[in-house]
Amino acid sequence: MSEKHLQTGDVLPPYSGKLRLFAMRFCPYAERTVLVMNAKNLQYETVFVNLDHKPEWLSNFSPKGTVPALEYEEGKAIFDSNIINVYLDEKYPEVPLQSSDPLRRAEDKIIVELFAGAQSAFYTAAYNPSALQPNSVETYHKGLEALQLKLKERGTKFLHADTPGLVDFTLFPFLERFEALPLVGKPEFELSKTKYELLVNYLEAMKQVPAIKAYYLDPQTHAKFIESRNKGDANYNMLDTSAVCCMRPRKKKE
Ligand SMILES: N[C@@H](CCC(=O)N[C@@H](CS)C(=O)NCC(=O)O)C(=O)O
């Protein structure tokens, strides 16, 4: 998978017949869909796009210009991570990621809803720290405490069950990024092991899940991206190895 982000003026690669995901490598919403597709063992391609200089064709797939968007048939797409993920779960039921019980599905949505405050406090802390309110840290920790309590109440390895499900893949991309906050000068957002023992163990277990392992980025990498974006020049292509391919030293002739 090329990690290069296409931008204004770049041509849309030809459609191969596989599901095609429009994403941005550091976008937590797009990651939700990547994790779901990985967990379901779906064949798909990814097109990464530069969100500061969007390719002209992005709006054909995503009318609001956001990622993720999923091209499920040539030229036909749906957008929004939650909408895409429920669609995928219903369309490809071989590996189900939601409970068959409607009440349990509603409870999963409530867990996601209760986490939303922590999510927006993260965004402010990472990308707009001057707008942090005195209660932002409190809101963030309240969200994490609520999540830890749910893990305790459910008593399963993951929120979904002893294997992760949609609810886990919806929250994880944010938790992954939360660990970068102390590295960008926000120690008050740390997920301390003493306070969040259960939650931290859950996070570590999630990192071992193959669907996640294949896409996970460490806190240092997220911190680098956050810093680049805050400097006004988001480094979308920092993982793109094709850019340095030709600078490798050539093998000496024997
Ligand atoms: N509710 C949407 C949010 C998606 C979203 O905000 N994505 C960001 C990148 S992480 C985006 O595309 N931003 C570009 C823009 O808003 O123009 C979802 O769940 O898919």
β-strand 5-6 against 19-23: which pairing, if any?
unpaired
**Cα 252 to averaged position of ligand 1 atoms, centre (Å):** 47
**Cα 253 to averaged position of ligand 1 atoms, centre (Å):** 50
Structure tokens at 75: 């030229």
Residues with CB under 6 A from ligand 1: 24, 27, 29, 51, 65-68, 80-82
Q: Walk me through the domains of the chain, giving residue ranges and CATH numbers.
A: 5-91 (3.40.30.10), 102-228 (1.20.1050.10)
**Cα 16 to averaged position of ligand 1 atoms, centre (Å):** 25
Angle of CA points 37, 38, 40, to nearest 5°: 65
- Distance between CA atoms of 126 and 160, rounded to whole angstroms? 29
Mind listing the pLDDT tens digit for each residue in 116-140?
999 999 999 999 999 999 899 999 9
Which positions are catalytic? 27
Mind listing the pLDDT tens digit for each residue in 180-216?
999 999 999 999 999 999 999 999 999 999 999 999 9
Q: Find all residues with CB under 8 Å of 184, minimum gap 6, and list them.
A: 126, 223, 226, 227
Q: What is the pLDDT along the chain (254 residues), one digit of tens a residue?
A: 678 999 999 999 999 999 999 999 999 999 999 999 999 999 999 999 999 999 999 999 999 999 999 999 999 999 999 999 999 999 999 999 999 999 999 999 999 999 999 999 999 999 999 999 989 999 999 999 999 999 999 999 999 999 999 999 999 999 999 999 999 999 999 999 999 999 999 999 999 999 999 999 999 999 999 999 999 999 999 998 876 544 455 454 44
Q: Report the nearest-CA residue for atom 15 of ligand 1.
A: 66
- pLDDT above 70: percentage of residues in the chain: 95
**Shortest-distance atom of ligand 1 to CA 27:** 10
Q: How many Å separate Cα 229 from the centre of its chain?
A: 17
- Using DSSP's 3-state secondary structure scheme, residue 44 falls into strand
Q: Report the nearest-CA residue for atom 12 of ligand 1.
A: 66
Structure tokens at 112: 């996601």
Q: Report the nearest-CA residue for atom 16 of ligand 1.
A: 66
The helix, strand and coil proportions of the chain, stated in percent and rounded to the nearest 5, come to 50, 10, 40
Q: Phi-psi bin for 155: left (phi > 0), alpha (psi -120 to 50), beta?
A: left
